Structure 1
Amino acid sequence: MRAVPSILHIDMDAFFAAVEQRHKPSLRGKPVVVGGVGLRGVVSTASYEARVYGIGSAMPTAVARRRCPNAAYLFPRFGAYHEVSQVVMGLLREVTPLVEPVSLDEAFIDLAAMPDGGPGTVEDVRALARRISDQVEQRTGLTASVGAGTSKLVAKVASDAEKPHGCVVVAGGSEQEWLDPLPVRKLWGVGPATADRLLKLGATTVAQLRALSESELVGLLGHAWGGQLYRLSRGQDDREVSPDRETKSVSVEDTYPHDLMDRPAIRAAITELAERVVRRLKESGHTGRTVTVKARGHDFTTVTRSETLAAPTDDPRLLIPAALRLVDGAADAATGQMHGIRLLGVGISGLAEYAQGDLIAELEGLAAEEDEADGEPEREGEAAAVRAQPDPAPSAVPGATAPSAVPGAPSAVPAVTLYGPVPVASEGRRWLAGKDVRHAERGPGWVQGAGLGRVTVRFEGPDTPPGRIGTFSVDDPALEPVDSAEVARAALPARAVGH
C-alpha cells in the first residue's frame, strides 16, 4: 500500500454536453442532452442543467424528452470530443509518463513516476491536483474533477465525490474511514440491480457491505463478483496505472435499472451498445473480426453468443447487424418465460491495426440512416417553429409541455429552441441536430433541426455572443457541413493547439 495518495483519476465534467455548451453560446446555462435523438435513441451525456430534471446517461431519449421537452437534443460530434480529449491527455503526459486513458473524458495517472519521484505529502498531492484541474480549464475552457488515492478504486470514487469541478484527496491510511459512509452505489461496478440485491441483506452503505462475509456475497452475487465486491468494500485494489496495456478486445456493457421485457427494447439497447463499441474501436485505431453479445437474465443467468466475420472491419454497417443477429438467441437463452434482461454487453475481438478514416462522417451517417428507418414523419409544426426568432417560449415547440415536477428543479424551464430529430439528406449531406455548418454569407453556425425540405441554423461560435437563426432550403449551395474537429481546434487557446 502506498503511503502517499499518488494515483489520480481525472474525469471531465459532463464532457460531451460541456463541449457542446462551450461551442454553442446560446446553450450555456441551459439543459443539453447528447446522444441518439430518434425514436430509439439513448442519452449519452446530459448537462448538469438537464440532470436537475432527472435525466442521466443510458436513459431512453423518449423518457428524457418527457422530463425536459425544451432541452437541446443533439447528435454527438465525436471529432470535436476527440480533439479536446487529445489536449487533456497531452497535458497529463506533461505531468507524468504514466497516463492510462480510460475513455475520451477520463484517465488515471501515477504521480510516483514523475521525474522527481512525485509529491511527498498529502498537501503536495492536493496542490498538484488543483493545478492540473486549473490547467485543464485554461487549455480547454472546460472543467474536470480530480480524485487522488493510494489505489485506482479510491481515486475513481474520489473524483466523483464532489462533481462538478471537485478535487478530493484521500490520505493513505484513511481509505476505509472515508469509504464506509458512502452508498454502495459509489463502489466500482455496483449498479441499481446489485444495490437492490444488497439492500435485501441490509447493506446500503460501504460499512454495512463490509460487515457481510465473503461467503454471503458469493452466495448472493456469484463467486467472481461476490469476491471482488468483498475486496472493493475494503479498499483492496492493487492494479497499476498501465499506459501501454495491450488491447485485445473492445467491449461495453450496461446494467439496466428495470429489466428489459420486450424484443424492441432489447434490440434498441444492443444497438446503442454496439455503436459505443464501434466508436471505441475506431478511437483505438483497430478493426475487429469477432462480435460477441452477452445477455444476463433476472436470475443472473448469463449467456454469450459470438459471430466471426469474414475479415476484420470497423464498419458499423457490418458490426451492428451482427450484434442484432446475436442478441435474439442470447436473450432467449438468458430468460425464462415472461422474464426480462437486466444486463447486456457487446464486445469485438480479433483486433487488427488499420489506418483511421473519417470517424464522424461514418457515425453520423449511420445515426441518420437509423432515424430515417424509424419512419418518424416530418411535422408541419416544426417547419413553423424554425421560422421563429431565437429562443421561443416552451409553447412555441410543438408538443412541448411543462415537465413533471422534479424535486430541486427550477420553477421554469430555460427556453431552448428544439426542433425535430428528422435528419434530411441532400446530395449526400446529413443535416443532424448539433452538426457544424458554414454559410457562404452568414458564416459559421450549427444545425438546430430540419424538416419539410428546410434546415434551420443558429449562427454563432465558441467566441461569439448567442447568434440569430436562419432557415434555408436543404439543398442551398451556400450552406456546407464543417468538420467538428476544425471547430474544436478553433475554440482552443493558442497554447493548446499544438498538442
Structure 2
Amino acid sequence: MFVSVLVSEGAAILHADLDAFYASVEQRDDPGLRGRPVIVGGGVVLAASYEARACGVRTAMGGGQARRLWGVGGATADKLARYGVTTVGDVADMPEATLVSLLGPGAGRHLHALASGRDPRVVRTGARRRSVGAQRALGRRARTAADLDAMLVGLVDRLGGRLRKGRRVCRTVVLRLRFGDFARATRSRTLPQATADTALILATARGLLAAATPMVEDRGLTLIGVSLGDLRDDRAVQLALPFDAVQRRAAMGGGELDGAVDGVRDRFGRDAITRAVLLGRDQGHPAPEPPDG
C-alpha cells in the first residue's frame, strides 16, 4: 500500500494506493501464497500482488484472452496472435496507432478503448442484487460449538433485517467456511418457499453447520459466513401452505416478531434490541452495507 499526503493552507488531500491490498491480505492469511504472484478478482483484476505486478499484471486488467473482448472474433484474434497479442493486457500495452494499422480505424480504436477500461456502452442502473451476505473472521483461537452458533445467529439476524428492509425474500441459504489450513467450503440448501423469516433462515443455516461439524472439529475454523441467494421481490411471491414444522412456526408469528424487532431498531437504533444469546458477545464491526439497487 502506498499513501501520500498533500497539504496546503486550506485543505489536506490523502491518496491511498490500494492496488495490492486484497492480494496482500490473502498472502498474510495463507503463508503458501507469500512470495508468489497473486491476483484477486473475477473477470477483472481487482488487486495484484507485487510479484504479479512484476509479471505485467495490472489492476483493472481483463483476466481472459483477447478474444473475450467485445468485438473480437476468430479472425481478429488470429490476426492479433500472429503478432504475439493474445491477452487483454497485450492489447492495452499496444499503442493505439499500431492497433489501427493492424485492424483499421474503427476496430483498432474500439479494442484499445476496451482493453484500457473505456467502454462506451450505457451503464444500466437500478438492477437489484441477487444475493446478500455477511461473514465473520475468527482468527486462530479455537471456538466452541456455542460460540459458532452465536456467530451464526448474529449473521442471520443481520441478513434477515436487510432482506425485510429491502422488501426482499430469499430461497437459497449458503454457509461459507474457511478452515485452519485455509481451504474453503460451501454448503447450501434451497428452501421450498422464498422467505425473509429469520427463524426459518437460521434453522436452515444451523442444519448446514451441523452437517459440517466433523470437518470443523477436524480442521479448525477461521471464518464463517452466510449468504442468501435467489432473491426476489416480496410482493411477487405466492404464499404456500406451511407443511414443514419450522414453516408452521414461522407462519404462526415469526413474521410478527421480525416486524416488531425491525420496528424497534428503526426507531431506536440497531443496538436497542438483540437476541439473548448475543448478550455480552463481541459481534465484530459490521461491514458497510451497499444499497440494494
**Which category of TM-score, normalised to the shorter sequence, fits these structures?**
0.3 to 0.5
Q: Give the TM-score, by structure 2 length.
A: 0.47
TM (normalized to structure 1)?
0.30
Larger Rg: 2
Larger RCO, structure (CA 8 Å, separation 6 or more)? 1
Which structure carries more helix by proportion?
2
